[in-house]
Amino acid sequence: MDIAKDLERIALQEQRLQFDRFDAEVAWKIGSALRSAALEQGKSVAIDITLAGAPLFYNAMPGATPNNAEWIRRKKNVLNRFHKSTYAIGLEYQRNDTSLEARTGAPLADFATAGGCFPIRIQGSAAVLGSITVSGLPERQDHELVVRVLAQHLGIEPQSLALDPV
């Protein structure tokens, strides 16, 4: 894995995967698509979509545990603090041979830089309005699942935004 290439690709993902609008209906469609995609892969995940602090979609598939909900909470704290995908934040700390806790004092009990939490943005605005989070797979796969489903929802060829295979 080339961290610099992944960070460049994640920046492109965050730029391209923005919405014309985002509301409860959009959240339902994306959450349902995430669940279907996980089922197709034979995987079990928990999914959370939050907009402006309001939960719009949550699903814990059979096999997911309360620990997945805890990981979602911790990932969302990182996204809300930095307004970037948690996978990007984790890779940045890895590249710099440090950690969020060491660099900022943020406690691991409340913050996780593991991949799988992606920002919700409206085109033409830099503001982060919420988050789409998956927990249950290895962090790169959590991130890739969200990106693939968002690309499909937005009519973008998913492979054009995919990370290089590890």
Give me the residue spans of the domains in the chain: 3-157
Specify whether the CB–CB gap between 94 and 53 falls below 8 A.
no
The pLDDT score that the predictor gives to residue 73 is 98
The pLDDT score that the predictor gives to residue 14 is 98
Q: What are phi and psi of 108, to 5 degrees?
A: -60, -25
All residue ranges of the chain with pLDDT < 70 are none
Specify whether the CB–CB gap between 147 and 159 falls below 8 A.
no
What is the pTM for the complete model shown? 0.96
Q: Which CATH class is domain 3-157?
A: alpha beta
CA distance 36 to 122: 25
The pLDDT score that the predictor gives to residue 165 is 85
Specify whether the CB–CB gap between 7 and 91 falls below 8 A.
yes
Specify whether the CB–CB gap between 75 and 146 falls below 8 A.
no
